[in-house]
Chain A
Amino acid sequence: TQLLEQSPQFLSIQEGENLTVYCNSSSVFSSLQWYRQEPGEGPVLLVTVVTGGEVKKLKRLTFQFGDARKDSSLHITAAQPGDTGLYLCAGAGDSWGKLQFGAGTQVVVTP
């Protein structure tokens, strides 16, 4: 089993501040996904990173995949209350289609 460790578990910041969420593993993943989930809803895909060292930007969100494809980070610039949610990283490994999920990071952005 490929274990994905996500940190921090909880993050509370004020609107306008920046934040970074980390996702680390000792295993190599063929791809890594980031999802955001709001209460009572299913996770929504934010991005998929595939290539080691890859950086993807989605408006104020920046995603990075480590060179060795074992870790990833999500950075949010100038956070807004709408960024509040549970952020989940998920890695795809050797079993086709199956994802290994991190424990999640609950982000709360207060006005």
Chain B
Amino acid sequence: GAVVSQHPSWVICKSGTSVKIECRSLDFQATTMFWYRQFPKQSLMLMATSNEGSKATYEQGVEKDKFLINHASLTLSTLTVTSAHPEDSSFYICSVATDTQYFGPGTRLTVL
């Protein structure tokens, strides 16, 4: 499998500010990573596919200008939530695609 880390593990921010979440693949060169969002007591919802060296592919209904994804290297993808609002509060999880998907530990975002 792949070992995946996320930073920070939790973050609290004020409404209107931007927050960056990092996803690192520690032992695998990942050309593809995925970003998910999970609300309490619900399953994972795919937000976007992050491709190294190219633009991310967003799922229907996910605003690409609000959720900026950068995959500049084979070990790092970042998700920036711009102008965050309370409704963006959620658990954000990334995964690395190898033979299947291996997930990071998640980042809890709370927007006040």
Contacts and interface: CB of A to CB of B under 8 A. Distances in A.
Interface of A: 31, 33, 35, 40-45, 48, 88, 90, 92, 97-99, 101-104, 106
A56 to B, nearest CB: 14
A98 B46 contact: yes
B103 A88 contact: no
A48 to B, nearest CB: 5
Q: 5 tightest CB-CB pairs across the interface, nearest first?
A: A42-B103, A97-B97, A104-B43, A42-B106, A42-B105
Given A98-B46, A103-B43, A104-B43, 14 more contacts: A31-B100, A33-B100, A35-B103, A40-B108, A42-B4, A43-B93, A45-B100, A45-B102, A45-B103, A97-B97, A99-B46, A99-B101, A101-B46, A106-B41
B99 interface: yes
Nearest to B102: A45
B62 to A, nearest CB: 14
A42 B99 CA distance: 18
Contacts, number: 52
Q: Chain A interface secondary structure, helix, strand, loop or mixed?
A: strand
How big is the B interface, by class?
A: 20 to 34
A48 B100 contact: yes
Contacts of B4: 42
B43 A42 contact: no
B94 to A, nearest CB: 8
Contacts of A35: 103
A51 to B, nearest CB: 15
